[in-house]
Structures are given as C-alpha cells and as structure tokens.
Amino acid sequence: MLVSQILKLKGSAVYTCSPLETVAAAACVLHSRRVGALVVMDEGDHVVGMLSERDIVRVIAQQGHMGLQAPVSSCMTRGVIYADPTETVADLMTRMTDRRIRHLPVCRDDRLVGIVSIGDLVKTKIAEAEHEAEELKAYIAQG
C-alpha cells in the first residue's frame, strides 16, 4: 500500500506549531489532540522541525519545569525526515525502524500534505495480512 492511500483513509489533518511557541503550549496541543508529535512550521509554512513527546521529556529531564517555558525551537528535532506519497508502507517501516522515529511528515513538491505514524503503518500491515488470510481461506474453501 502507498502512503497516499493511507492518507486517503485516515485524512490529511496535521497538527502544527510555531518554533516560537513555548514547550508547555505545544504539550497542551499534543494532549488535547491526542497525538504524539507536532510538525513545527515557520511563518512561510515551511517545515523546520518536529516536536515529539520524546523531545519534551528530554527537555524536562535536562532543565526541569523551566524547560516548559523554553521555545519549541530549543528542543525540536531538526533535520526532518520526510515521506513521499508514492512510497510504500514497507519502505517507511524500514526507515522509521532504522532511524528510531515514530512520525513522518508527508510532503509533495515541498508542501506538507499529511503525516503518518508507526501506528498507521502497523494498522495497515495488519489489515493487509487479515485480508490476505481471508482470501486464502476462500480459495481453500473453493477446493
């Protein structure tokens, strides 16, 4: 299955924040939206980083509660790794596993068009395996 097909099923909603927002404000968005990461966008709508729950834990461990008042830019992950809508689930699973990341923004022509998580990919793989098992059962039952 392609990333574009996953986005058609799950939708293309992406939660973002500014690099100038406080870590505390971004944490509130993560909590209220029930997501594990935000795409950090500058004023020109360019992706400049990712902020994950892991990044927030790291800043609190290093700076204590004062880290929550720091700007997102101080602890976001830079050097964002992207997905393309034409890539396969298997390609992304390999990249995410190798890089130990759980969220990939999806870009087409340098424009953010969605986001996929490792959970989205696992859900897709399970659905594909279940579908294949049902087809095999039907084939065997036909004799």
CATH of residue 22's domain is 3.10.580.10
Torsion 113-76-28-30 (CA) sign: positive
105-137 pLDDT tens trace: 999 988 999 999 999 999 989 988 888 888 888
pLDDT of the residue at 105: 96
Q: Domain limits at 79?
A: 3-142
CB under 8 Å to 77, separation ≥6 — which residues?
A: 49, 50, 51, 52, 55
Helix and strand element counts for the chain (H, E): 5, 5
The residue behind tokens 């087409």 is 108
Q: What is the pTM of this model?
A: 0.86
27-81 pLDDT tens trace: 999 999 999 999 999 998 999 999 999 999 999 999 999 999 999 999 999 999 9
Task: In whole angstroms, give the CA distance from residue 82 to residue 51.
Answer: 14
Number of independent structural domains in the chain:
1
